[in-house]
Structure 1
Amino acid sequence: MNIVICGGTGFIGKSLTRFYLEKNHNIIILTRSEKTSEEKNLTYINIDEPTASLVNKLNGCDVFINLAGKSINDRWTKKSKQEIRDSRIQTTDKIYAIIKSLPIKPSLYINASAIGIYGTSLTDTFSEATTSYGNDFLANTVKAWEQSAAKFNQLPIRNVFARFGIVLGDEGALPKMVLPFKWYAGGNLGTGEQWVSWIHIDDVVRLFDFIINTPSIEGPVNFTAPEQVKMKDFGKQIASIAHRPFLLPAPTFLLKIVLGEMSILILEGQKVQPQKALDMDFQYKYPTLRSALTNLLHT
């Protein structure tokens, strides 16, 4: 296959690239950085090239995956919130213009999304069948992002929204969550009652591959594991596997002062079931948090 990845130099993009290169597929990464590759089957193309030039280079590709967007892990100011939103929608619009102009279109477009679309709750369970969404900054950003990506249904090609939970791996959120435990200072973040919907990076890659090879899958797909846990249990499992105490809480008010509005990422959560993956009998390599953390913490 010829696979185009926009945002391919990030955490998830690098894992996807490595997976498909090992299977001898051709990978084209759309990027704004000046990069060249000496690796067989890997090409970097600047997404800011004129659309006509990109059409010539990308015609006949099989799959487009859009992972691009400014990180949400920096403090949210009015400016950064606008950049978070614009970076996602503008890149999606650019890819749409490219694909719309391709004489030979791909069979599949996958757009990154997030479970943040559901809003937060201590009591509700969300799935892809949920149609009532949240109204906070993250939910509104994801709604606008998916609305932009919905244009691909008009082409028509198969269109999937990959709604990511917290992706656990050697990069991303997990190293920051583990660090206090390494310093013997780990404990509850906030009340500890908030839900954490997570997925191992290996299962992210495998679920992408499953979607690519299952033509009946379209629309939103929750990229979460079948076991969701509360934050207090997440921390206790880290402590157990890392052989560290579970001691010091980080009070809610302090996290709000330090992180501002971004504290919603830590202090509030949602219980999100991967119903489509389960219904299609996707086999998780790491279905439980303990199996995932045991693998990632190398114990």
Structure 2
Amino acid sequence: MKIAIAGGTGFIGKALTSLLIDNGYEVIILSRRDESIKPSANPRTVRWLNDGDQPELHLEGVQAFVNLAGTTINSRWNPKSKAEIVSSRISAVNEIRRIIQNLPKKPRVVVNASAVGFYGTSETKTFTETSHSVGNDFLAETVKKWEEEVLQIEQAGVRTVLCRFGVILDKNQGALSKMLLPYRLYAGGTIGSGKQWLSWVHIDDVARGILFAIEEDSLSGPVNFTAPEPVRMEQFGRQLAHSLNRPHWLRVPSFGLQLLLGEMSMLVLKGQRVLPEKLLDHGFIFSYPNLKDAMTDLFQD
């Protein structure tokens, strides 16, 4: 099976590409950059989103599209960066829809990135895919617009999966890698109140979950990509300290992060308790369902 991945050079894309190749799939990376890769290579690269690009000429026979493309949200938010966060996601979806319209045969499935930020934040509620709550902050509004664009592909008759990612744990990239430095300097501690929920997931389970979504024909619509056991930030910090053999003692006050990060501070000061009901109901088995096992894997010598 041929699978095209937009955003395949990011840390999710790299993990997914490796897993797909190990499982015998042919992978095509959609990239803005020119890559000197032989046409027979796996993965191979096809240019897109540049003036004059016609990626559909090189994508005949693709049976699944995975869209992970979009400007990072991990930068200080201002009107310009917010506009880029939204527009980069919408333009990628629109281009995938255009490509599909121009292929001789439609793919079986489109698996698109999304985020648990869709639900808004809460210290008391639990969210599953059947929850109708939609947040009213910037991140929730962005995810809502993003998903609405993707669902237009579904209306064209292609099975569509919306991967609502939680905080993805990888020691070298993503949010966790940024949390490590204070602990390694013996200055780690609770962020904010510590009561905010952290719905996390191991990078390996993300890659395996995406492959599961590609292969499981009965899975569609929003799917929460979070481990079955979310934790509060206080517990997360203590487990991280234990895994690194470091103290957990220096509290990081909310106002300090707000001054440093501005509106983006909500990513660590607020959260939501999200459960992966659909994945579990469809028979997906997490390799790392609890935080202790996930941390042990990530930081084992």
Q: What TM-score does the superposition give when structure 1 sets the normalisation length?
A: 0.97
Q: Which residue of 2 aligns with 1:274?
A: 276
Aligned 8 A contact 1:24 1:41 in 2: no
Instruction: Tell me the distance in 2 between the aligned counterparts of 1:139 and 1:49.
Output: 29
| Cα drift, residue 129 of structure 1 | 0.3
The letter for the 1-side match of 2:208 is R
In the aligned structure 1, how far is the partner of 2:15 from the partner of 2:86? Answer: 24
Q: Distance in 2 between matches of 1:191 and 1:183?
A: 22
Q: What is the SS of the residue equivalent to 2:45?
A: strand
Give me the whole-angstrom Cα distance separating, in 2, the residues matched to 1:36 and 1:25. 21
SS in 2 for 1:111: strand
Distance 1:100 1:230 in 2: 44
Structure 2 residue ranges without an equivalent (≥5)? none
What secondary structure sits across from 1:72 in the alignment?
coil
SS at match of 1:13: helix
Structure-1 residue corresponding to 2:28: 28
CA deviation string 1:163-194 (max 9, x = no partner): 00000013111111121110000001001000
Could you tell which deviates more after superposition, 91-100 or 16-25?
16-25
One-letter amino acid of the counterpart of residue 21, structure 1: I
In the alignment, which of 171, 175, 178 is matched to residue 176 of structure 1?
Answer: 178
8 Å CA contact 1:162–1:221 kept in 2: the answer is yes
Q: Is the 8 A contact 1:2 1:62 kept in 2?
A: yes
Deviations 1:254-282 (A, max 9, x none): 11011000000010000000000111121
Q: Which amino acid aligns with 2:238?
A: K
- Aligned position for 1:166: 167
Write the distance in 2 (CA, Å) between the matches of 1:50 and 1:106: 24
User: How does 1:115-130 map onto structure 2 within 5 Å?
Assistant: 115-130=116-131
Q: Contact (CA 8 Å) 2:20, 2:211: kept in 1 or not?
A: no
The one-letter code of the counterpart of 1:258 is L
Partner of 2:17: 17
Structure 1 unaligned segments of length 5 or more: list them.
Answer: none
* Partner Cα separation in structure 2 for residue 190 and residue 260 of structure 1: 14
- Aligned match of 1:217: 219
For residue 50 of structure 1, report the CA deviation from its aligned partner.
6.5
Alignment of 1:5-154 (within 5 A): 5-37=5-37, 40-48=41-49, 53-154=54-155
CA RMSD in angstroms comes to 1.3
Cα deviation code 1:96-134 (max 9, x no counterpart): 011112111100001100000000000000010011200
> How many pairs does the alignment contain?
299
Identical-residue share of aligned pairs (%): 48
Alignment partners' CA distance in 2, 1:84 and 1:196: 22
What residue identity is the alignment partner of 2:261?
Answer: L
Matching residue of 2:229: 227
Partner of 2:248: 246
Q: For the residues of structure 2 that align with 1:82 and 1:40, how far apart are their CA atoms? A: 36
* 8 Å Cα contact 1:51-1:98 kept in structure 2: no
Alpha-carbon deviation of 1:23?
2.3
Counterpart Cα distance in 1 of 2:199 and 2:206: 13
2:80 partner letter: K
- Whether the 8 Å contact between 2:48 and 2:54 is mirrored in structure 1 is no
The answer to whether the 8 Å contact 1:113/1:163 transfers is yes
Letter in 1 for 2:6: C
Aligned to 1:293: 295
C-alpha displacement at 1:51, in angstroms?
Answer: 7.8
Residue 170 (structure 2) pairs with residue 189 (structure 1): no
